[in-house]
Amino acid sequence: MAGARPAAGEQASPPRKIPRLIPPDGPLSLDEHLARYGAIPFSAALPSRDGGIPALIAAVERSGLTGRGGAGFPAGRKMRAVAQAGGHAGPFGSAVGTVVLANGAESEPASGKDRLLLARAPHLVLDGIALAAEAVGATRAYLCVHSGGGAPEPQLREAITLRERAGLNRVPIQVIDVPGGYVASQETAVISFLNGGPALPAFVPPRPSRKGAHRRPTLVQNVETLAHVALIARYGAAWFREMGTAQAAGTALVTVGGAIRRPGTYEIALGTPVGDLVQRAGGPAEPVQAILAGGYFGGWLPFPAAQRLALSDDGLRPAGAALGPGVLVLLPESACGLAETARVTSYLASQSAGQCGPCSNGLPALADAIAHIAYGQPAGEALRWTEHLMALVTGRGACHLPDGTAAIVASALRVFASDLRRHAEHGPCARIRRAPVVPAPADPHEAS
C-alpha cells in the first residue's frame, strides 16, 4: 500500500486478487479498458525533473518484475540499460532514439498464454508498450506476433488505430508477423528479421539493449511483461508485490496441458504450489506420473512429489526444472516419458537453425541417442554417449537451443530412471505406442 501510486489511475481501484491481467468478462473495448484501469500514466514514464531515470523504470525495478518470456531477466534492469544506452535522461535528453520490441510470437508449442493475452487484454499490452517506449526514449515500437500460431493480428492493428485516433500512442506501434519455428522468436532472431535478415538467432555481443533493431538500443520484452509494466505504472511496485513471493514477485500466466481436466491458461501468484494450480485446472484427467515444467527449456519433475513445489524459477530450479514462459504438461502413467522426451528432442533438433556446428551436429546426434534409449534396448554405453553429447552441446550455440535440449534430456534420464532400467532389461515398453501427450509439431514449418 506504499503511497507512490500515480494519480492518473484515480478512477480505478487496483485489482486486489487474481486475475490481474485477463478480464474474466471478455476483451474490453478501449473505453471500458480505460474506465477499469484508469488513464495511461505517461507522466511516470518521463525522465525525472533532475534528468534522472524515469520514475516508471525505478518502480519496475522495485517491483521485482522479471521477464515472462522464459529467461526471467529483471525487467527494470533491462529498461534502465536501454534508456541509458540511448542516452535517455542524459544531459541532452534522448540522444539516440531507441526501439521497443514487444515479443508475442510465442514459439513454445505447449504455451498459449501470449496469444490469449493479446486476444483478451490487447490494450493492457499496448499500454505497456507505449509506457515502456516513453520510459526508454523510443521513437518506434513493434509488436511481434506469429499469425500462423493464431495471434489476433487484425484485431491488434485495429486496436492500435483506435488508440492512435485517441492520441494514446506517442510513438508508432507496428504489428510484425514473424515466421514460425522454435528459435524464430528468440530475441536476436526477431531483431535480425526486423533488420531485413532471416529470423535466426545472432551472436551476442552486441546485446540488443546496446545495438538491436535498426542498430539502435532495443528493449525486447515479452508481451506479458509489458502488461505487468502497464499495471505497475498505475498501481505501483508495492501493489505488484502484494502477490507472489519476495524472490518471485507478482503474478504470471501459466499454460496447463496434458492429462488435466481443464487445460488452458491460468494466472497464478508466483510461488503457488504446483498442486494448487493442478486442482484449479480440475485435477488430473487420469493417473499422472510426471510434469514437464517450463516447456522445452524446463525439465521433468516426478508426480505427485512435484505438487509441493512452488511455481517460480527459484522454486523449481533446485528440482531441475523452471517456470520458464509458464508451461506445465502433465504426463499420464499411460505414456512413456522416455518416448515423449525422444519426440521433443527430435523436434528441437529439427528446429536448429543450422548456424552453429555443435548444435546442428550435436542435436541430431542427441535426438538419435535418446530415441535409441526410448525405442531400442539401451546398454550402458548408450547412456554414457547421451551424457557425453549433453555436455558437448551445452553452452556452445549462439542461442540456448542446445542448452535447453540437453537440460530436458538430463531431467528425463533422472526422472524416468526406472523406465530406463526396464527398457534396458526388457526392451521398449508398450506405452511408447500411446498417442503423444507433449505437443511437438512434426513439420517444423507448422511450428507455432
- Residues in contact with other proteins by the rule CB under 8 A: 202-203, 355-359, 361-362, 392, 396-398
Q: Judged by CB, which is closer to other proteins: 201, or 326?
A: 201
CB 353 to other proteins: min, Å: 9
Q: Judged by CB, which is closer to other proteins: 75, or 398?
A: 398
CB 109 to other proteins: min, Å: 25
Q: Judged by CB, which is closer to other proteins: 227, or 393?
A: 393
Q: Judged by CB, which is closer to other proteins: 95, or 392?
A: 392
Q: Judged by CB, which is closer to other proteins: 204, or 371?
A: 204
Q: Judged by CB, which is closer to other proteins: 307, or 355?
A: 355
CB 362 to other proteins: min, Å: 8
Q: Judged by CB, which is closer to other proteins: 180, or 362?
A: 362
Q: Confirm if 132 and 76 have CB atoms less than 8 A apart.
A: no
CB 79 to other proteins: min, Å: 18
Q: Confirm if 107 and 447 have CB atoms less than 8 A apart.
A: yes
Burial of 442 by CB count in 10 Å (0-12 exposed, 13-18 middle, 19+ buried)?
Answer: exposed
CB 137 to other proteins: min, Å: 21
Q: What is the 3-state secondary structure (H, E, C) of the chain?
A: CCCCCCHHHCCCCCCCCCCCCCCCCCCCCHHHHHHHHCCCCHHHHCCCCCCCCCHHHHHHHHHCCECCCCCCCEHHHHHHHHHHHCCCCECCECCCCEEEEEEECCCCCCCCHHHHHHHHCHHHHHHHHHHHHHHHCEEEEEEEECHHHCCCHHHHHHHHHHHHHCCCCCCCEEEEECCCCCCCCCHHHHHHHHCCCCCCCCCCCCCCCCCCHHHCCEEEEEHHHHHHHHHHHHHCHHHHCCCECCCCECEEEEEEEECECCCEEEEEECCCEHHHHHHHCCCECCCEEEEEECHHHCEEEECCHHHHCECCHHHHHHHCCCCCCCEEEEEECCCCHHHHHHHHHHHHHHCCCCCCHHHHHHHHHHHHHHHHHHHCCCCHHHHHHHHHHHHHHCCCCCCCHHHHHHHHHHHHHHHCHHHHHHHHHHCCCHHHHCCCCCCCCCCHHHCC
CB 16 to other proteins: min, Å: 41
Q: Judged by CB, which is closer to other proteins: 69, or 362?
A: 362
Residue 51 zone, left/alpha/beta (φ > 0; ψ -120 to 50; rest): left
CB 83 to other proteins: min, Å: 17
Residue 70 zone, left/alpha/beta (φ > 0; ψ -120 to 50; rest): left
CB 433 to other proteins: min, Å: 33
Q: Judged by CB, which is closer to other proteins: 82, or 143?
A: 82
CB 154 to other proteins: min, Å: 35
Instruction: Read off the C-alpha cell for 128.
Output: 505497456
Q: Judged by CB, which is closer to other proteins: 268, or 366?
A: 366
CB 174 to other proteins: min, Å: 27
Q: Judged by CB, which is closer to other proteins: 264, or 358?
A: 358
Give phi and psi for 407, each to the nearest 5. Answer: -65, -40
CB 198 to other proteins: min, Å: 12
* Alpha-carbon dihedral 242, 248, 250, 254, rounded to 10 degrees: -140
